[in-house]
Amino acid sequence: MPKAAVWQRLMLHEELVDAERGADTMRPVRRAQLELLLQKFSLSASIAAALYALALWVLFYVLAPSPRALAWAVLVHAVQAVRYNHTRRLLARGPVPDAELGPELHRQTRLLWMLGGAWALAPWLLMRHGDTASMALVAVFIVGMVSSAAAVLSSHRQTVAAFVVPAMCGLVLALAWSGGLIGWIMALALAQYSSTLVKWTAQQVDLLVDSLQVRFDREDLAQRLAEQVERVEAGSREKTRFLASASHDLRQPLHAVSLFTAVLEHALAQGPQRETVARLAHAVRMLGTSLDGMLDVSRLDAGAVQPRLETLGVHALFVSLQSTYGLRAQDKGLRLRIRAPGDLHVASDQLLLERLLGNLLDNAIKYTEQGGVLVAARPARLPDGGQAVRFEVLDTGIGIAPAQQAQVFEEFYQVGNPQRDRAQGMGLGLSIVRRLSALLQHPVQLRSRPGRGTRFGVLVRAVPPVAPSGVVVPPHLRRTVQLPAHVLVLDDEAVSAMAMASWLSAQGCQVRVAADVPAARLALRAHPEISTVVADFRLPGSESGLDFLVEVRLQLPEMRGLLVTGETAPERIAAIRASGLPCLFKPVQPERLLESLAR
């Protein structure tokens, strides 16, 4: 605080503080000080102050009737009434505007200065000169009033000084004027008391101001932090919407390309161009796999994937992994070994656990150039002491440096691929592993040494095996499902609808095409032989393909419906899952489309 005169430090303290700390920073503090002043100046407090003054002048008037006592009574009660009426009107107006905070605090200070001045006249108008008893009586009343006021007004330094200094100065001067040893002793003692009281009250006000400023600074910081969080979340939502829209726009033509490629591959199965078409189909499948990875992330983040726990045999799980990834490891010249001692069983979701382990195995094969990959399972213990099976995927690949081991679970992060070589994927595999681990509550552990290889461990709760049912259907008695003979394709994208119709027609289906919901309703009425509807999600108008399929399910329970969409927005994926309708996400592998239609 800059150097200032004593009277400035006493009466202009707030202005000096505001100039040093900033008026905008101190504005909420001044508002809190004014509110505290107004809260303490209630009707009961006003009545108590009036009764206190009444007792003083009535006592002196009874002891020695004098017009001076009546004059002081009129003065002090008039000032009290003015302050009460002003405060009542102020409270009735509601919150004080920011621009009026300073002026209103100055008005409160002036009113209290007037009240302090009225009490300063009490010893001059009521006390009898040279009468020790009257001197002591006036001193007791004024000291009591000043002490109470200092406690009530301790939220604002200037108002305290405006009342205490005039009232005590009037008393001290009156006592000194009365003369005599007792008068001078009382004057000196009360002067010392006044100084101590003002100083102590000022310290309390400063502590209050500092604590209020800390509080409001924290609230302001919390508000700014909340605004930053909201901006970040808004940016994340905008990014999600952009990616969903971009993904949908990419999936539509890719879906058509996939189906047209399948039609071409089917037509040229015996032709000389079959190898070229096969390579084209492989490239389309790789692109579709990349988009599927992004879709998996969106679905997991949306909560649209819920695990269905069941008892799974580790042996059967490993057989599936071997059949899926064995040929790929062999193509790279790697040895894929799978070991599971004993008849181990776990409680998990079959598809999700296989996807989790499959992503780890795919990652191991991708980053291993020589040596091999081992997938093993062995009994272990959970942190709570329960029985578990520890799945481990070990490789002899490039390894992961300690500084990168946390980053590899982030989206699009790849070790040793700064050029973003698309042949090495998109870097979504381990981010999906992290999400699946949290969803299934299967902790994943990582240990790795650069140049020596990597070991991933997954803990899954073990359960006793389920007894087999004993009923086995011989292959020659199993029912062979057929594709529906008549299919309605509902898609407003002409190329996508044409590709779907071409592929299904090549498989022997009779296909009708509709571009919107009204046309689809007309097609169902005109062709009652249609038994299956394949619909896209986004359609012209207010109704989506999902809405139409739900309507058809209610009106025609025997009609089969399949939703085929390129949507990746989490809220729409959640809505699709909630409907219970079967759904395929574009680009759909042609074989997968046929399997879904056959089911």
Q: Which residues, at least 6 apart from 13, have a Cβ–Cβ distance to it below 8 Å?
A: 157, 158, 202
* End residue of a domain, out of 117, 147, 178: 178
My answer on whether 505 and 369 are in the same domain is no
Q: What are 238's strand-pairing partners?
A: none
My answer on whether 495 and 524 are in the same domain is yes
My answer on whether 431 and 321 are in the same domain is yes
What tokens were used for 593? 């489309």
Q: Is residue 466 part of a domain?
A: no
My answer on whether 516 and 437 are in the same domain is no
- Residue with the larger pLDDT of the pair 76 and 9: 76
| Predicted confidence band of residue 248 (pLDDT cuts 50, 70, 90) | low
| Predicted confidence band of residue 178 (pLDDT cuts 50, 70, 90) | confident
Q: Which of 541, 566, 561 is nearest to 551 (CA)?
A: 561
CATH (domain of 391): 3.30.565.10
Helix (H) or strand (E) holding 374: strand 372-381
Q: Specify the pLDDT at position 225.
A: 87
Residue 513 pLDDT exceeds 90: yes
Q: Is residue 242 part of a domain?
A: no
Residue type at 248 in one-letter notation: H
My answer on whether 447 and 367 are in the same domain is yes
Q: Mapping DSSP to helix (H, G, I), strand (E, B) and coil, where does residue 447 land?
A: strand
My answer on whether 75 and 143 are in the same domain is yes
Helix (H) or strand (E) holding 227: helix 180-267
Which range of residues forms the domain containing residue 27? 6-178
Q: Is residue 187 part of a domain?
A: no
My answer on whether 290 and 346 are in the same domain is no
Q: Is residue 229 part of a domain?
A: no
- Residue with the larger pLDDT of the pair 383 and 8: 383
| Predicted confidence band of residue 480 (pLDDT cuts 50, 70, 90) | very low
My answer on whether 314 and 289 are in the same domain is no
- Backbone φ and ψ of 373, nearest 5°: -130, 135
Q: Is residue 219 part of a domain?
A: no
User: Domain total for the chain?
Assistant: 3
What tokens were used for 567? 């949507």
Q: Is residue 106 part of a domain?
A: yes
| Predicted confidence band of residue 388 (pLDDT cuts 50, 70, 90) | very high
* End residue of a domain, out of 133, 161, 178: 178
Residue 19 pLDDT exceeds 70: no
Beta-carbon count within 10 A of 438 CB: 12
Q: What DSSP character marks residue 510? A: E
My answer on whether 271 and 395 are in the same domain is no
* pLDDT digit string, tens, across residues 322-356: 877 888 888 888 988 988 777 899 999 887 898 89
CATH (domain of 594): 3.40.50.2300
**Count of positions (residues) in the chain:** 599
Q: Specify the pLDDT at position 472.
A: 40
My answer on whether 445 and 485 are in the same domain is no
Q: Specify the pLDDT at position 131.
A: 81
- Residue with the larger pLDDT of the pair 91 and 529: 529
Q: Is residue 502 part of a domain?
A: yes
Average pLDDT over every residue of 53-69: 89
My answer on whether 358 and 496 are in the same domain is no
Total-model pTM: 0.44
My answer on whether 296 and 349 are in the same domain is no
- Residue with the larger pLDDT of the pair 145 and 11: 145
| Predicted confidence band of residue 567 (pLDDT cuts 50, 70, 90) | confident
- Alpha-carbon dihedral 145, 147, 153, 156, rounded to 10 degrees: 130
Q: Report the C-alpha gap between 590 and 472 in whole angstroms.
A: 30
* End residue of a domain, out of 151, 178, 205: 178
Q: Report the C-alpha gap between 163 and 150 in whole angstroms.
A: 8
Q: Which of 261-265, 316-320, 405-409 has the lowest mean pLDDT?
A: 405-409
Q: Report the C-alpha gap between 395 and 373 in whole angstroms.
A: 4
Chain centroid to CA 64: 75
Q: Is residue 227 part of a domain?
A: no
* pLDDT digit string, tens, across residues 405-459: 777 777 655 655 544 444 454 557 788 888 888 888 899 988 888 888 899 999 9
| Predicted confidence band of residue 246 (pLDDT cuts 50, 70, 90) | low
Q: Report the C-alpha gap between 15 and 2 in whole angstroms.
A: 12
Residue 177 pLDDT exceeds 80: yes
Q: Specify the pLDDT at position 3.
A: 46
Q: Report the C-alpha gap between 246 and 253 in whole angstroms.
A: 12
